[in-house]
Chain A
């Protein structure tokens, strides 16, 4: 996010930090709105306003450009009349009220709050209204040591990792999980429990939790990382209180290594073996973006002498498929590279489709890189078997009905940045502006019925049986 004003962190921080100190916004809106905004809901509203403020700030609105606040307030109040339920207007009112409240902090924050006010007041036309609950990614400057936020207790490995996450230097569920576990190993090896407490009690909560929250500030936790953290905490809880600290530490390091080996690396190898059996000579295999598992499958299949060609479908702005392309090229696998927009043209040639996934939800939906749902849907419609390759540690007990609620937002700037030096392309400012709301979402949820088979290290299963594996498959204790 390239905010023109440094106000957004303030606006984001202040209402969240001091929800209790908010003055009741009675004078600002109708009594009903005040009642709605009072009590436990204040916090929520304040957050909403803060996000709107942040977004508005991202749009590059100047404080001077704002419409006079009272007008918008009236608008909000009018909308609110007789409609206690949350709607566009109601939301605007609440946001305005809360933003105004936070604005009383003074100076810069007021500007941001007013910006937020503007954003909230124009809610009815804001195309991003559906995504107000999603956070824009934190800028890397907020995650480093120099940031004002407290990073004093954060381990250097974690700070480095958070920066790598936020700059998309480490992407992909497996890579992120392995990198996190390596960082956690650093933490554990340099850890000594303070006096009057012991490792079992201190390490998982007081020591690890702030580190993990710092990672979450960079990017939301992936399902794979969640599983790994749960596993680690479970293993910590099993450690005998009397055990020597050094011994306990080396035991934990061993456990982390075995998790990486058994649940990620070996699982990937087993999946490769299963998947290769499904590749027939002469197949044209389509894959989307880049999945480490699928890449492993294709390379291993070539090594085992299968004759096939690959179509890599890619999309902006991450262009992850290019990495896959490089490794397929070096393995001399005949490969075609197309963008998602040309998918329908390449479709008649495809005989098999391998997709990796970020997480597999318990209703069988893939939660995967944005665009996967479209690929799966089109191939299923065409009658091509859609094979999902997923280690069991990426299985999630959650269900998502849409891609809106639990998605992750990427910086919209990357969508607008020029990709070619072609002078004929009309120049678009590389930052979002008042009448331009770019939206860059990282994930989507595919329909379960589009996936023919899920290949896991426990075998090939239909998507409907994901809950069966979630329930029964316990390769390591505690998961």
Chain B
């Protein structure tokens, strides 16, 4: 697709002035822009918005099949371009599924039909904000006064649920994992502290240490799989194992549009757009690269300063996995806008969406 990054037009003017722009839309760029502009937008929603925009630009398509092919290519283009194709494709496949169930009424022009589709997609996008409110409501019962909560990384829906609970004068304290390598936990820490919730950041490696002090663990999700398991930012799986081992309830908060028809059998069965799997060994090279063995960072005395930590090299860092798969038997409940589900209840919801005749 030829690249034309909106040529100075803002998204709004595009929508208002030219609902059927003949210029082909660069879906990848548009998707990227949407995510940059609005921090609260989650990836599946941005993907749906992008596809809706694509329909608005698809002047040349005159049949549903054509439109469908166009959207399908766009979806795979988006998936292959994005670092995390899983969460995005839950949005695109939902939209494609919605489309297969639509038939243009005989008395409607195809352009009008497309207009209708765009309308419905936009409704879905604006309506998606409501999901988080519903989840916050559903989660309310699980956060009791005086509890200590362990949270993983940064998730918009988890933060909103915690703020919602705090607004009702519930007193609770939060431990949040630092979530290396991006340090997303620090964002959660900043938001919660600002709202007056006592929050501590813990090292990712300290999850097991702090787990006995916590009453429950809450995570968000990049995607909820058909198995009832979660695809999560790296560290979610270890937190779930620790919670299970120490008998703490482990709740996952996820909007229903994050449910995907994906059934990973193991950690390594997740779709990825990376060329090589994470943490693959590089072939041994000759001794041209000289390694200097660093001194051991230590803090022997109470008055010695913090040692300079050793840092991963850029290359090592780029080889790290960023997502892991939490198996369903570790999850207590998946709290979503369609209700609080046991892991096996996810299939029920998915089949309602994807099996409807």
Which of B265, B329, B344 is A453 in contact with, Cβ under 8 Å?
B265
Which of A387, A449, A452, A468 is B347 in contact with, Cβ under 8 Å?
A468
Given contacts A453-B227, A472-B351, are A462 and B344 in contact (CB under 8 A)? yes
Given contacts A453-B227, A460-B226, are A465 and B265 in contact (CB under 8 A)? no
Number of interchain pairs (Cβ within 8 Å): 52
Which of A387, A452, A458, A465 is B344 in contact with, Cβ under 8 Å?
A465
Whether the Cβ atoms of B355 and A473 lie closer than 8 Å is: yes
B194 within 8 A of A: no
A20 within 8 A of B: no
Contacts of B142 in A (CB 8 A): none
Given contacts A468-B351, A472-B351, are A460 and B344 in contact (CB under 8 A)? no
A227 within 8 A of B: no
B141 within 8 A of A: no
Q: Considering the chains assembled together, what is the distance between the CA atoms of A461 and B343 in angstroms?
A: 11
Whether the Cβ atoms of B265 and A352 lie closer than 8 Å is: yes
Whether the Cβ atoms of A462 and B265 lie closer than 8 Å is: no
Contacts of B266 in A (CB 8 A): 385
B269 within 8 A of A: yes
Interface size class of B (residues with CB under 8 A): 10 to 19
Q: Considering the chains assembled together, what is the distance between the CA atoms of A387 and B266 in angstroms?
A: 12
Q: Considering the chains assembled together, what is the distance between the CA atoms of A452 and B344 in angstroms?
A: 12
B228 within 8 A of A: yes
Whether the Cβ atoms of B328 and A462 lie closer than 8 Å is: yes
Whether the Cβ atoms of A462 and B351 lie closer than 8 Å is: no
Q: Considering the chains assembled together, what is the distance between the CA atoms of A453 and B226 in angstroms?
A: 10
B132 within 8 A of A: no
Q: Considering the chains assembled together, what is the distance between the CA atoms of A473 and B352 in angstroms?
A: 10
A68 within 8 A of B: no
For B354, give the chain A residue with the smallest CB separation. Answer: A459
Contacts of A278 in B (CB 8 A): 265, 269
Interface residues of B in 244-279 (CB under 8 A from A): 261, 263, 265-266, 268-269
Q: Considering the chains assembled together, what is the distance between the CA atoms of A449 and B344 in angstroms?
A: 12
For A387, give the chain B residue with the smallest CB separation. Answer: B265
Q: Considering the chains assembled together, what is the distance between the CA atoms of A446 and B189 in angstroms?
A: 47
B116 within 8 A of A: no
Q: Considering the chains assembled together, what is the distance between the CA atoms of A472 and B355 in angstroms?
A: 9
Interface residues of B in 200-248 (CB under 8 A from A): 226-228
Minimum CB–CB distance for A345 against chain B, Å: 23
Contacts of A465 in B (CB 8 A): 344, 347-348
Minimum CB–CB distance for B232 against chain A, Å: 18
For B265, give the chain A residue with the smallest CB separation. Answer: A385
Interface residues of A in 379-423 (CB under 8 A from B): 385, 387
Q: Considering the chains assembled together, what is the distance between the CA atoms of A109 and B169 in angstroms?
A: 84
For A352, give the chain B residue with the smallest CB separation. Answer: B265
Whether the Cβ atoms of B227 and A458 lie closer than 8 Å is: no
Minimum CB–CB distance for A459 against chain B, Å: 7
Contacts of B226 in A (CB 8 A): 459-462
Contacts of A462 in B (CB 8 A): 226-228, 263, 328, 343-344, 347
Whether the Cβ atoms of B265 and A464 lie closer than 8 Å is: no
Minimum CB–CB distance for B237 against chain A, Å: 14
Contacts of B354 in A (CB 8 A): 459
Q: Considering the chains assembled together, what is the distance between the CA atoms of A459 and B348 in angstroms?
A: 12
Contacts of B228 in A (CB 8 A): 462, 464
Minimum CB–CB distance for B204 against chain A, Å: 23
Minimum CB–CB distance for B130 against chain A, Å: 26
Whether the Cβ atoms of B348 and A468 lie closer than 8 Å is: yes
Contacts of A280 in B (CB 8 A): 268-269
A297-340 CB mask vs B (1 if < 8 Å, else 0) is 00000000000000000000000000000000000000000000
Contacts of B342 in A (CB 8 A): 464
Q: Considering the chains assembled together, what is the distance between the CA atoms of A121 and B329 in angstroms?
A: 49
Q: Considering the chains assembled together, what is the distance between the CA atoms of A387 and B344 in angstroms?
A: 17
Minimum CB–CB distance for B330 against chain A, Å: 13
Interface residues of A in 258-307 (CB under 8 A from B): 278, 280
Whether the Cβ atoms of B347 and A461 lie closer than 8 Å is: yes
Q: Considering the chains assembled together, what is the distance between the CA atoms of A473 and B356 in angstroms?
A: 10
Given contacts A278-B269, A387-B265, A459-B226, are A464 and B344 in contact (CB under 8 A)? yes
Q: Considering the chains assembled together, what is the distance between the CA atoms of A472 and B354 in angstroms?
A: 12
Whether the Cβ atoms of B343 and A458 lie closer than 8 Å is: no
Whether the Cβ atoms of B263 and A453 lie closer than 8 Å is: yes
Minimum CB–CB distance for B89 against chain A, Å: 14
Minimum CB–CB distance for B260 against chain A, Å: 12
For B348, give the chain A residue with the smallest CB separation. Answer: A468
Contacts of B265 in A (CB 8 A): 278, 352, 385, 387, 452-453
Contacts of B329 in A (CB 8 A): 449
Contacts of A459 in B (CB 8 A): 226, 261, 263, 351, 354
Q: Considering the chains assembled together, what is the distance between the CA atoms of A465 and B346 in angstroms?
A: 9
Contacts of A453 in B (CB 8 A): 227, 263, 265
Which of A458, A460, A468 is B263 in contact with, Cβ under 8 Å?
A460
Q: Considering the chains assembled together, what is the distance between the CA atoms of A462 and B329 in angstroms?
A: 11
Contacts of B348 in A (CB 8 A): 465, 468
Whether the Cβ atoms of A458 and B269 lie closer than 8 Å is: no
Q: Considering the chains assembled together, what is the distance between the CA atoms of A452 and B227 in angstroms?
A: 9
Interface residues of A in 403-456 (CB under 8 A from B): 449, 452-453
Sorted from nearest, which 10 A-B pairs have the closest CB atoms?
A: A464-B344, A460-B263, A385-B265, A465-B347, A462-B227, A468-B348, A461-B347, A465-B344, A462-B344, A453-B263
Contacts A/B (CB < 8 Å), 17 sampled: A280-B268, A280-B269, A352-B265, A385-B265, A385-B266, A452-B227, A458-B355, A459-B226, A459-B263, A459-B351, A459-B354, A462-B228, A462-B344, A462-B347, A464-B347, A468-B348, A472-B351
A residues whose Cβ falls under 8 Å from a Cβ of B: 278, 280, 352, 385, 387, 449, 452-453, 458-462, 464-465, 468-469, 472-473
B residues whose Cβ falls under 8 Å from a Cβ of A: 226-228, 261, 263, 265-266, 268-269, 328-329, 342-344, 347-348, 351, 354-355
Q: A280-B269, A472-B355 are in contact. List 14 more A-B contacts (CB 8 A).
A: A280-B268, A385-B266, A458-B351, A459-B351, A460-B226, A460-B263, A461-B263, A462-B226, A462-B228, A468-B347, A468-B348, A468-B351, A469-B351, A472-B351
